[in-house]
């Protein structure tokens, strides 16, 4: 292995990383963004980009795989122990960030992903949410006069409503975590009748 | 006017009414239902149906106009006075029935409706909801630590989530009014911090 070869490989790794970062940021807000715009934002030429990713579809696929891996990591990092309401606030904040930042990318890439990958994208967050709502119900801090499945429907509906409202410009993105969290916790909370 | 002519006109009115009733019921659950199925459910022949409605599109248009008129009537009949929480429960029950029963028809007919009609369909329920949430905030029974526009987004999100959950079979239609109402009232209620 020559010094030249090592330097070239380090360069290539940096370029791939820059391309993936730029593509992730741009695809999240504009799923139709062009390869030229991605190359420009990454600070590489078109030829370099196509040297690493032979087609736009291959790049979108690589971006979505990376997003899925970082989603799993982000959810794994959420502390789900302790008071169920506080754990729910942490899980909602993480889930909201992922929904808002990466939702469009996963939709754009859905043709390229395997059924197993699509299942992971949708079911992993849902599985954690279900387990936490169940624990809150068992511990008496979340209401039990509604079916668990309805409560999960409500959480999903509020997350998607928030994403649409932010993209429409009705709600500032910085306020969304607090609004989603306060609204879901209020909907789940035990009431005098619950 | 002969006695025969009067009887024929009464017959025609009854047939039109039967056709519109059958079409409304069938289109609400299956927007692709055929003219033959509608004629059969109405107890009239194909020729009679086409005598009154020259095309499927004309029938769908007539059904959606009728649905819009009955939506206006149903919303006008809701008592919006008194305690804002109780008024909200009544408005949500009426809006839920309309969303669930007629949502698919209005979507199916959206090409045939004028912009003014589409505006009425969407804005009339939204206008009443906005006025009521505003009153509840002013009177101190709904929380004010969230923007009004976010609270309206939440109401819409829960209504649409419920409609999807009922159509998926996750929630029995008979339970939906109570679940929607309890969830929205909990999300709007003043809390110790609100």
pLDDT tens for each residue of A22-73: 999 898 878 889 999 999 999 999 999 999 999 998 999 899 888 888 888 8
Cβ of B182 and A154 within 8 Å? Answer: no
Cβ of B146 and A186 within 8 Å? Answer: no
State the pLDDT at residue A192. 64
H-run or E-run covering B17? helix B3-29
* Placement of tokens 């239902």 in the chain: B33
What confidence category does residue B1 fall into, taking pLDDT thresholds of 50, 70 and 90? Answer: low
Long-range CB pairs of B126-130, under 8 A, 24+ apart, other chains included: B126/B152, B126/B156, B128/B75, B128/B78, B128/B80, B128/B91, B129/B91, B129/B95, B129/B155
Q: Mutation test of the interface with chain A: which of B158, B168, B185, B191, choosing the one with the most A Cβ atoms within 10 A?
A: B158
Six token digits for residue B19? 């056709």
State the pLDDT at residue B194. 43
Q: Lowest-pLDDT range, A55-59, B46-50, B116-120, B146-150?
A: B116-120
* Placement of tokens 């109780």 in the chain: B86
Tell me which residues of chain B have a C-beta less than 8 Å from any C-beta of chain A: 143, 145-147, 149-150, 153-154, 156-158, 160-162, 164-165, 170-171, 175, 179, 182-183, 186-187, 189, 191
Distance (Å, whole) CA B43 – CA B36: 11
Instruction: For chain B, give the number of residues.
Output: 194
Give the nearest chain A residue to B186 (CA atoms).
A187
Distances B125 to B89, B98, B119 between C-alpha atoms, Å = 14, 10, 10
Select from A146, A149, A157 the Cβ nearest to the Cβ of B170: A149
* β-bridge partners, B189: B142
Bigger pLDDT: B141 or A70? B141
Cβ contacts below 8 Å, chain A against chain B, sum to 72
3-class DSSP state of A189? strand
Cβ of B160 and A162 within 8 Å? Answer: no
Average pLDDT over residues A109-118: 76
Among residues A43, A191, A161, the alpha carbon closest in space to that of B150 is found at A161
Superfamily of domain A1-54: Homeodomain-like (1.10.10.60)
* Domain positions in chain A: 1-54, 63-194
What is the sign of the dihedral through the CA atoms of A31, A34, A35 and A37? negative
- Provide CB contacts within 8 A for A186, sequence distance 6+: B143, B186, B187, B189, B191
Among residues B84, B88, B24, B94, the alpha carbon closest in space to that of B59 is found at B24
Count other C-beta atoms under 10 Å from residue B186's C-beta.
Answer: 21
Tally the C-alpha atoms within 13 A of residue B173's C-alpha that lie toward its C-beta.
Answer: 8
Q: Mutation test of the interface with chain B: which of A126, A182, A186, A189, choosing the one with the most B Cβ atoms within 10 A?
A: A186
Residue B159 has pLDDT above 50, yes or no: yes
pLDDT tens per residue, range B40-91: 999 999 999 999 999 998 999 899 888 888 888 888 999 999 999 999 999 9
Residue A132 has pLDDT above 50, yes or no: yes
Which ipTM value was assigned to this complex? 0.77
| Cβ(B42)–Cβ(B21) below 8 Å | yes
Cβ of B189 and A187 within 8 Å? Answer: no
3-state percent breakdown (helix, strand, coil) of chain A, nearest 5: 75, 0, 20
B-chain CB neighbours of A157 within 8 Å are: 157-158, 160-161
Task: Name the CATH architecture for the domain at B66-194.
Answer: Orthogonal Bundle (1.10)
Task: Give A41-98 as a 3 state SS string.
Answer: HHCCCHHHHHHHCCCHHHHHHHHHHHHHHHHHHHHHCCCCCCCHHHHHHHHHHHHHHH
Backbone angles phi and psi of B175, in degrees to 5: -85, -15
Average pLDDT, chain B: 89
What is the sign of the dihedral through the CA atoms of A125, A156, B154 and A70? positive
- Terminal Cα distance for chain B, rounded: 69
Among residues B71, B64, B72, B80, the alpha carbon closest in space to that of B130 is found at B80
- Terminal Cα distance for chain A, rounded: 70
Distance (Å, whole) CA A128 – CA A151: 14
Q: Mutation test of the interface with chain A: which of B145, B153, B176, B180, choosing the one with the most A Cβ atoms within 10 A?
A: B153
Select from A143, A147, A153 the Cβ nearest to the Cβ of B161: A153
Task: Name the CATH architecture for the domain at A63-194.
Answer: Orthogonal Bundle (1.10)
Give the closest-approach CA distance of B158 to chain A in angstroms: 6
């Amino acid at each position: 292995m020559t010094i030249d070869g090592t330097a070239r490989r380090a360069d290539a790794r940096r370029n791939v990383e820059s391309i993936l970062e730029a593509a992730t940021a741009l695809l999240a807000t504009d799923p139709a963004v062009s390869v030229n715009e991605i190359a420009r934002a990454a600070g590489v030429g078109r030829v370099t980009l196509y040297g690493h990713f032979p087609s736009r579809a291959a790049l979108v696929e690589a971006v979505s795989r990376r997003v899925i891996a970082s989603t799993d990591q982000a959810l794994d990092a959420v502390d789900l122990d302790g008071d169920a309401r506080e754990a729910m606030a942490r899980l909602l904040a993480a889930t909201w960030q992922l929904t808002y930042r990466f939702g469009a990318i996963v939709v754009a890439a859905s043709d390229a992903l395997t059924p197993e990958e699509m299942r992971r994208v949708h079911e992993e967050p849902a599985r954690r949410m279900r387990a936490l709502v169940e624990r809150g119900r068992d511990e008496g801090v979340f209401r039990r006069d509604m079916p668990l499945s309805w409560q999960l429907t409500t959480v999903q509906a509020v997350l998607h409503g928030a994403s649409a409202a932010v993209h429409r410009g009705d709600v500032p993105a910085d306020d969304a975590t607090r609004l989603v969290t306060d609204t879901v916790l209020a909907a789940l909370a035990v009431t005098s009748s619950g």
